[in-house]
Structure 1
Amino acid sequence: MKQSLPVLLHHHVTARRDAIAVSPENFEAQLKALSAAGFRGVSLAEAHAFLVRGVRLPGRPCLITFDDGYLDNATNAWPLLAQYGHKAVVFAVTSRLEHGPARPTLGDARAGRVALDDLPNVTDHLVTGEHGLWERRDQFLSWDEARAMEASGVVSVEPHGHRHASVFCRPDFQTFFKPRNKKRTFDDIETRTVFGLPRFEEGPSLSSRAFLPADELYDLALRETPQDTGEALRFFADSRNEERLRSKVLAIPRERWGRFETDDEYAARVHEELAPSIAAIRENLGRAPVSLAWPWGAFTEAAHEIARGLGIEMFFCTTPGANPPGAAAHVNRFKVRDKGGAWLRSRLEIYSRPWLAQAYATVRR
């Protein structure tokens, strides 16, 4: 029977309640269930042999992946993977990786080398800043931790882009840039922003050519809107100010709001996102990366060709489905939920069968 490689998509392994987090208790239960059912989390090299060269893998393989490169991947996930004999790949946003010493892990605590209270706090992530506004600040791996995970043979670290930013994807807006709470880990826009600039519709940075606001809009925003955070808060607290600003923007003909990037500008921006990420892996881990997880799973054929030119051979997406031998150009992954081992085993039984995986993915989309 034709083989399909199930690929699991994780982000956090932490006790924090989050849509993209699995608790350490459920993660351990899932790993136990994998082993009990005969599934084995394979290495990056084994996945490469199967997805690129079509080499059949023995037993019941699966590939465990993590996106973004959060610290809890090292402190919580890595020791549990090692304990239960599974391997994994972390796709890291390389600009976020820190230069600092490796921190203690759950494995250190279980071995009695440190107390549980001495482990890094990877649960709290909201920080209250200026004027009482809070911001999400997740902790990320250090390069020392990435090197230690790779040296253990348990976890490989590969690129997930350098900044993981957004762009304006079309000139439609409902609101303006204003002081606000920041709920998202990756909240950057790949263009200059000022208070009072229309907050045009956003999309993943690699998925399309960006819309670039015109100087006329920046000039209007700077003229009409205070740029001090406290003053801007007071300005937007009065809805009449925002309505006046909206009227002035709408009085400018839409064709003067800005322009879209050229194909060459888009290609240069894609290169600036991917090349530093690939170079950072090479420089800090001493090897050339072979795979890439697209930020937000979004890309174009032009981005795909640029990544190929940079030496990437496996491309991981966020769509569910089958992964037959040689399917490296578009590797499907299914998102792992914060549930126990029985749930995960049921999904692996589906995604390890090509016809069933494709049928199930079609229904789920």
Structure 2
Amino acid sequence: MTSSVPVLMYHYISRWKNPIAVSPELFEEHCAAMARNGWRGIGLDDAENFFIQGKPLPDKSILITFDDGFLDNYVYAYPILEKYGHKGTIFAVTGKIEPAAAPRNTLKQVWNNECSADALPRVDQPYVKHELGFDERQDPFLNWEEARLMEKSGVMRVSCHSAWHKSVFISPEYDGFYQPEKRTRTFDRIDSDIIWGLPRFKALPRLANRAFIPSQRLLAAIRELVPQETDAAYAFFAEEANLERLKTLVQGFSKDELGSYEDSMSLQGALRQELSQAKTTIEEELGRPERSLCWPWGAFSPDALSIGKDLGFRCFFTTEMGPNPAGCASRIHRFKAKDKPASWMMMRLQIYSRPWLAKLYSSIRL
């Protein structure tokens, strides 16, 4: 029986070049090599029972996870997992999952000659040209009908990765201003009132930090100077003199005048809303209880953990490397699955299936 369950952390299964993307061709190599060497991707229910109760699992059991809920997980990862007899888990940002619609084509339809590769959804290119001329990040996500189809198949589970995967401002320190321009990140949204011209205050994950809230006086002054229609704001920032006027305006505010920190009651309420909304949405859309939560960016506070447990979550997944022995439900480690050969993957599975070796290796890698 296994003594430590390796948990793989994928994000994109896509041909788009990105540090957290693995091509579908290489992902298939990973899955084929795992099957060939006796490793099997298990279902989340079985993993939860091991993490919570210590229920035994066969040797070479692994949990294959995908963060965020990108559409490529359905188009590419789902049929590849099924082909090699593995199961997987998608930790989805529930607010990003699209409304129920007809399931879209997957790689399986291409294999069965039911459609051409050109008929697959746009999942290898996340940028779309904005009408003002700059590129804007618009990652496609799963829809709820696709989530239900995957769960019904028994191949893929869809679980919680928070409701919105947002950050919060954490201090009055800032670098630049919000303006219409190329978006390079998927999850760059701030849990605050964002207007054009607002200083880009330092930000960190919502579930791990107390929010710094810009003052209403600051917001009103910026709105008076900076047009809030996107095309007009774009034209405003094209003029260097306008940017200097904005800088002068904001520099006229002391740090205390720029904003204040949320109180404990507001913080607790925000954490509870973010987690309860995600859990309720999953349970209502998929018709089953939800026990697992994957922390966005792996970041959480003691308050967030306490609220998560109070809401009924039992398993909490991080982005930290390390062993996963029976009973580790409050802090489950994962390792990043990289765009590297299957031999690299096989070596990591050997490491993370041995508690002492996983602990030693992760301490060296920190």
TM over 0.5: yes
Contact in 2 for aligned 1:27/1:340 (Cα 8 Å)? no
Deviates more, 1:266-275 or 1:218-227: 218-227
User: 1:196 aligned to 2:184?
Assistant: no
User: 1:12 is matched by which residue type in structure 2?
Assistant: Y
User: 1:326 is matched by which residue type in structure 2?
Assistant: G
| Cα deviations by residue, 1:218-272 (Å, 9 ceiling, x for unpaired) | 1221122222333333332343433332233222221121111111101111112
User: 1:89 aligned to 2:103?
Assistant: no
User: 1:168 aligned to 2:198?
Assistant: no
| Cα deviations by residue, 1:262-312 (Å, 9 ceiling, x for unpaired) | 111011111121111111111111101110111111111111111111110
Partner of 1:6: 6
Q: Distance in 1 between matches of 2:127 and 2:271?
A: 31
Q: Distance in 2 between matches of 1:234 and 1:93?
A: 34
Q: Which runs of 5+ in 1 are unaligned?
A: none
1:103-252 to structure 2, matched below 5 A, reads: 103-252=104-253
TM-score by length of 2: 0.96
| Cα deviations by residue, 1:139-197 (Å, 9 ceiling, x for unpaired) | 11111111111111111110111111111011110111111111111221111111121
Partner of 2:69: 69
Q: Distance in 1 between matches of 2:200 and 2:141?
A: 28
Contact in 1 for aligned 2:2/2:59 (Cα 8 Å)? no
Q: Distance in 2 between matches of 1:260 and 1:363?
A: 37
Q: Distance in 2 between matches of 1:233 and 1:145?
A: 37
Q: Distance in 2 between matches of 1:144 and 1:222?
A: 41
Q: Distance in 2 between matches of 1:117 and 1:221?
A: 46
Q: Distance in 2 between matches of 1:245 and 1:104?
A: 48
Partner of 2:58: 58
Note the C-alpha offset of 1:124. 1.8
1:266-277 to structure 2, matched below 5 A, reads: 266-277=267-278
Partner of 2:28: 28
Note the C-alpha offset of 1:114. 2.3
Identity of aligned residues (%): 42
Partner of 1:336: 337
Q: Equivalent residue of 1:243, what SS?
A: helix
Q: Distance in 2 between matches of 1:305 and 1:222?
A: 39
Q: Distance in 1 between matches of 2:254 and 2:121?
A: 53
Q: Equivalent residue of 1:339, what SS?
A: coil
Q: Which runs of 5+ in 2 are unaligned?
A: none
Q: Distance in 1 between matches of 2:235 and 2:110?
A: 48
Q: Distance in 1 between matches of 2:143 and 2:227?
A: 38
Contact in 2 for aligned 1:316/1:332 (Cα 8 Å)? yes
Note the C-alpha offset of 1:2. 7.6
Q: Distance in 2 between matches of 1:177 and 1:122?
A: 28
The alpha-carbon distance between structure 1 residues 89 and 2, as it changes in their structure 2 partners (threshold 3 A), is closer
Q: Distance in 2 between matches of 1:121 and 1:2?
A: 39
User: How well do the aligned residues superpose, as a CA RMSD in angstroms?
Assistant: 1.5
Partner of 2:40: 40
Partner of 2:358: 357
The count of residues paired between Structure 1 and Structure 2 equals 365
Contact in 2 for aligned 1:179/1:232 (Cα 8 Å)? yes
TM-score by length of 1: 0.96
